[in-house]
Structure 1
Amino acid sequence: MRIAQVSKADSFGGGASHVAELIHNCLLNRGYFSHHLASWSGKHYSSDLRPLYGKFEKEIRRAHILTKKLFAPEVLPYELFPLKRQIARSDYNLLHFHDLSSAISPVTLKALSENLPLIWTIHDCSAVTAGCLYPMGCEKYKKTCFNCPQHGTWPVDSKLDFSFISHNQKKSLHKTNNLQLVTPSKWMADFINSSGFVKADVQVISNGIDTSIFTPEARSDISKPISDKSQLKILLSSGDIMDERKGVHFALEVLNGLKVLNPKLIIVGNVSDPAKSLFADFDVVYAGYISDKKVMSSLYATASLFLFCSMADNQPLAVMESLSSGTPVYGFETGGIPEMIVSGVNGRLSPQKDVISLTEAIKDDWANRRIDDMSIAARKIALEKFDISLMVDRYVSLYERSISNFLSTRG
């Protein structure tokens, strides 16, 4: 097999692109022919990590940005010609797409599906919306997107609202043969099917992580000074305080309810000075942006729990990484997260916005030392369900079936 992962970026570009890179590297390690085509890279390109737009990288990126700024994201397939050239040169048997947002037009997928089997792993809801990653209660995607309630916010931040164009392109794409849809969670599969215009079967293949890196034993120079197990330590991933989807303001409410326990907060990510003022009354370690996986694992492993109050998510890698590091996850019943957390076993989930229930659960579990048992269960479940080898095994099997089915239709 000759496979190419196609994504917006490499691992520097977010969860979906990170999954693409993980699959690509694992395929290489198993001896398969694999390339990773990315519209931009946070590191140097190489013989197997290649620019999706070829030698026109800067021009096509600017064109996508300009088109998106004016009227709609990804409506013009600027990348189709250079991608066809790369397919011809490398003789791929199959293309595996990941995140398209702001980088790849659905028109490109439809055109390529005429001559190649395609797999598209859907990491957010934009596969059936006009571009928003999560509709946040809006149901216009079930008929026609127009007058988008999220218009003006990324990634639907165009000057004019032509959301119906993007939505119609998605509808047209989903009528295509030779396109296999995959979602990491059953929740996302159900959401995609709820659109009413997706005819293809949606296969569920869970994401995976390297459980040999994310371990309970991980330690680093950052984590060693805060390794006192007698103090409740809460890991929190920073986000835009004003972003409803991140749920950071709910996490703050939970933390305020836990002040009586005098917890130490470990905050990962870049935090602005105004945001830091919200944590002024807490004992805080600001770890900053962490790109080193081993260091990140050490912070998970040092924490007593990971507080994750997202209001819209599919199957967050951060939750997997925490569990693999032996750290229970506390949060809301959001998206595909209930498929990852067995409440009371490897963490606790409360109904969305139920801050009181979540706060009391943390207090009770800490007082009765249940978190220690949850830590053991978290690691065990991560090994059984989320190891990268399980994900790649399933994708290799899917690649083989897709290629075989495609060839059989060609006689």
Structure 2
Amino acid sequence: MVRVILTTDVYHPFVCGVTKIVDIFAKEIPRYGYRVSILAPAQMKEAYIYSRTDSVDRLYLKSLKFLAFYPEVNAPEIFSSFFAIRKLLNNGINGEKVLVHAHTPYLTTTLLRLTARMMKIKVPIILTYHTLVEEYLKRRFGFLRGVASMIDSVFMGDLLRKIKALIVPTEYAKKVLLKHLFKGFRKLETKFIKIPNPLSREDYVVPNKSASSYYGDLEDGKYAIWVGRISHEKNIQFLIKLFENLDYKLVIVGKGPLLKYFKRKASSNTLFTGFVNNDVLRALLRSARCFVIASGFDNMPLAVMEAMAQGTPIISYNKGGHTEYIKHGVNGYIYRNIKEAKKYIKNVFENDDIYEEMSMHARETSKKFHPDIIIPKHTRVYENFIG
């Protein structure tokens, strides 16, 4: 029996793309004969908490807020985490083979690596590179971004030397990371494997309610939508400005450090829903005329793929990994400036034939991310590195 340990620095109750993807893997890979453990930080009094639900072991590490870098990240307490991780790895010593599939490269994964080294056991590690950290550092650290970027470049290069493989969901992510690394590390490009992230099976389910049944002031098919973390790097100010003089409503789903700020700045045709559960999210995506995105920061935002699964065309800025899956004029549009964005939004809203055609192609595109397609690609990678 092989145990796959999924590591992450962000997990429930904070819900983001990485949280969702970890949950998808935890649910799907047991179908292929693997046992699953999730190693994640949590704010709690106990040194650690172990739980088992739905055939998945979860080990939560006592942690503190890591405010200096990313407010939603929890930094595990080192001493207690060592004993908790030691207990988890002992399962491998006692008969199971162990492989780590890391979904964040930093705190939790580093603690696991160091603990394994102290125990003198070799654990193969595969990392999926979700977040384009270089882009985030530019916006987060201002004039200190050069120093922060250099430290991260050294860290990622050293990590890349030690792991078995690095999975990139897009060619864009590969390009950005290689540029971020020092030249001496770029020869490790041979470890890169491109595999898109999976959607969940539930993402393809047609909701039994429309958006208007949840929000009385919304008219189905008469609004555009964006979903994500409300922060500087997402370029939400562009979306708000874009819709100021348009006759269509903009729905912004999610929460984040700038939610209150943008609520004050936005015009009356913008609705902020805050965080919503999956049933409401699917209804909002299904009833939207289009999904709009203005950020070039993203690697492969899960919300874009979730929108496609509900048949919602994508109107996107021409930068970001997700644009690799958008065919201009087929399942959405790619714009370069605000003038083009307004033109394409009007096309989708005012022409039913264009909308219906794009909606059909968006659903077809989303099938590429079905777990029955994506998860076996990952398990084949696992098999290559299991002793």
Identify which of 265, 287, 312 aligns with 1:278: 265
Deviations 1:297-333 (A, max 9, x none): 1100011111111131100000000000111111202
Structural mapping, 1:192-203, within 5 Å? 192-194=177-179, 195=181, 196=183, 197-198=185-186, 199=188, 200-203=190-193
Percent identical residues = 21
Give the CA RMSD over aligned residues. 3.4
Deviations 1:316-353 (A, max 9, x none): 000000000111111202220211211111111112xx
Identify which of 125, 129, 148 aligns with 1:118: 125
Alignment pair present for 1:184 and 2:184:
no
Deviations 1:109-143 (A, max 9, x none): 377486011101111233xx6xx64547x9xxxxx
Q: Counterparts of 2:86 and 2:68 in 1: how far apart (Å)?
A: 21
Structure 1 residues 334 and 85, CA gap change in structure 2 (3 angstroms):
same
Match of 2:36? 34
Match of 2:212? 223
Secondary structure in 1 matching 2:334: strand
Q: Counterparts of 2:17 and 2:167 in 1: how far apart (Å)?
A: 15
CA contact (8 A) 2:128 2:167 kept: yes
Q: Counterparts of 2:161 and 2:101 in 1: how far apart (Å)?
A: 18
Identify which of 87, 97, 103 aligns with 2:89: 87
Partner amino acid, structure 2, of 1:85: K
Structural mapping, 1:145-224, within 5 Å? 149=142, 151=144, 165-176=151-162, 178-194=163-179, 195=181, 196=183, 197-198=185-186, 199=188, 200-215=190-205, 217-220=206-209, 222-224=211-213
CA shift, 1:87, in A, is 0.8
- Going by fraction, where is strand more abundant, 1 or 2? 2
CA shift, 1:293, in A, is 1.4
- Going by fraction, where is helix more abundant, 1 or 2? 2
Deviates more, 1:271-280 or 1:186-195: 271-280
Secondary structure in 1 matching 2:376: helix
Secondary structure in 2 matching 1:86: helix
Q: Counterparts of 1:249 and 1:165 in 2: how far apart (Å)?
A: 30
Q: Counterparts of 1:179 and 1:31 in 2: how far apart (Å)?
A: 21
CA contact (8 A) 1:211 1:324 kept: no
Structural mapping, 1:11-410, within 5 Å? 12-40=14-42, 46-47=51-52, 48-53=56-61, 57=62, 61-62=63-64, 65=66, 79-80=81-82, 82-90=84-92, 91-101=96-106, 103-104=107-108, 106=110, 108-109=112-113, 112=116, 115-126=122-133, 133=136, 135=138, 149=142, 151=144, 165-176=151-162, 178-194=163-179, 195=181, 196=183, 197-198=185-186, 199=188, 200-215=190-205, 217-220=206-209, 222-224=211-213, 225=216, 228=219, 232-237=222-227, 239-240=229-230, 243=232, 245-258=233-246, 262-270=247-255, 272-282=259-269, 284-290=270-276, 292-351=277-336, 354-369=337-352, 370-383=354-367, 385-403=368-386, 407=387
CA contact (8 A) 2:10 2:40 kept: yes
Structure 1 residues 239 and 164, CA gap change in structure 2 (3 angstroms):
closer
Structure 1 residues 218 and 76, CA gap change in structure 2 (3 angstroms):
closer
Where does the alignment leave 5 or more consecutive residues of structure 2 unmatched? none
CA contact (8 A) 1:8 1:17 kept: no
CA shift, 1:40, in A, is 2.4
Deviates more, 1:76-85 or 1:117-126: 76-85
CA shift, 1:400, in A, is 0.8
Where does the alignment leave 5 or more consecutive residues of structure 1 unmatched? 139-147
CA contact (8 A) 2:7 2:38 kept: yes
CA contact (8 A) 2:300 2:320 kept: yes
Q: How many residues were matched structurally?
A: 358
CA shift, 1:29, in A, is 4.3
Q: Counterparts of 1:203 and 1:238 in 2: how far apart (Å)?
A: 26
Q: Counterparts of 1:315 and 1:188 in 2: how far apart (Å)?
A: 8
